[in-house]
Each structure stands twice: as C-alpha cells, then as structure tokens.
Amino acid sequence: MLIDTHVHLDDPRYDPDRDAIFQRAKEAGVEKFVTIGCDLSTSHAAVQLATSQSNVYATIGVHPHEVKRIEPNWYAEFRKLAQQRKVVAFGEIGLDYHYDHSPRETQRQRFREQIELAQSLSLPLVIHTREAQEDTMAILQEAHAEKVGGVFHCFSEDLAFAKRALDLGFHLSFSGIITFRNASQLHEVIRTVPDDRLLIETDAPYLTPVPFRGKRNESSYVTYVAEQIAKIKYGDTDTGLARVAELTTNNACQLFKISS
C-alpha cells in the first residue's frame, strides 16, 4: 500500500475525471490520500472531500502565497474545521520568497500565527519553504514547533537544511522532483534520511514525475516516486519498493494518526 501524503484533490483540473483518478490510484496500489488546504475555501473543500471519501484525509491552513488574503474570521473558521475527525494536519503553511505573492513580513507574521494555532489544536504542521531557509527554520525554532512536529513537504533543499529539519523532529517528503535529471542533490539527501522520517507525495496536479513530466500529475504517479527512492536507498525496485511502501505508509499513519 502507498499513501499520497500531499495532493490537491479539489483542484478544478480534476473535475472532469476525479472518480477515474481514484480508480487509477487504487489500481496502482495507492490506497490513502491527504488532500491539502491552501486557504479557507480550499480547506473547506479538502474537508468535504475527506468526509465523502473513506480513504481521503484533509489538512487545513493558508499557503504563504495566500496569507495576504486572511480575514479576521479565518482562524475561528479553522478551529471549527479542525473538529472534523478527518482533519489530520495544519498546512500547507510557511514562507515562499521566490514568488513573493504575499509581502515577506506578512508571510512571517502569518506563519507564526498559524504555527501557534496548530499547536493549540495539537495538529502536526505541513511546511512549504522556498528560498527562505533561514527564516523558516528560525521561526520554527522560536515557536518550538517540535512540540507538534510535522513534515517539510516536497523537500527540495540541501543536505545541511535536511539535517536541521530532522534535528527538529520533522519528516521529509519527496515528490516527482526526485525523478528529474538534475536531482542529484536530493538523491544525496534521501540516502541520509532515517527510515522512520521518510514520506512520499505527488503534490498533484503539480510536479509530474518522469516519464509523464509536462502532463497533469495525479496520485497514481506516486509509485514513480517510491520506485526512485527504492533505487536510491536500496539499489533496486523489487524488494526495495516493498520496503519503501511499508515504511512510508507506516510513517504517514503515525504522523497523521491514520489507521492502517
């Protein structure tokens, strides 16, 4: 069994064939999904999907791109959503200095607020960081984020940052990026990640792995991420793939408190 720990199942690009996507995922051995909230409306959509599908779980939160839009009532709404049984984490939240769709000071302030909210709800964090290593880590450390832990999703940083994230007690999740030709740095990171801190994801509909790069991503393709990790860590895709499936599924179930 595989778990896609980060997917945007509410994305409109899935509206024409969402049922078929679930079926293809099942045929590929992907049996559970964590669908991600990026603002208040997508968090509601994530929870609605999780409520209607027995094998889907939800996160809630505001992506750094969207934090400039936070309204005074949003955090109260998130507290209500968090009472739903299928809500398993808070995120994706963090900092993104590549696009700066929200002002950097606003990003930092909202990041702190959302960590505090997640801690009050006893929810692990789903972290997005891009070109913001130092500020991301500083805020997590200042906020004692290790109390709830969580995952750096779509990990794409260097070995030094990976060590700091692991030292803070966080998991690292890898996406289709590791199948790209220029991903040798990430391969080095994967070799060092302890088995009990490793997760896999698609971030679908984004970051489609080779051999489908350039097309819409979907959860069935998380198998290509698992196969690549098997090659990197264990040297093969037979016994290695079974091991990756087992450990990443166990890790996801423990972090997100999902029954296996």
d(CA 164, CA 132): 14
Strand order in the sheet with 198-200: 2-7, 30-35, 56-60, 87-96, 125-130, 150-152, 171-174, 198-200
| AA identity, residue 184 | S
Q: Residues annotated as binding site?
A: 6, 8, 92, 128, 153, 203
CB 128 within 8 Å of CB 94: yes
d(CA 106, CA 66): 10
Q: Residues annotated as binding site for a divalent metal cation?
A: 6, 8, 92, 128, 153, 203
Give the HSE-up count for residue 244: Cα atoms under 13 Å, Cβ half-sphere: 31
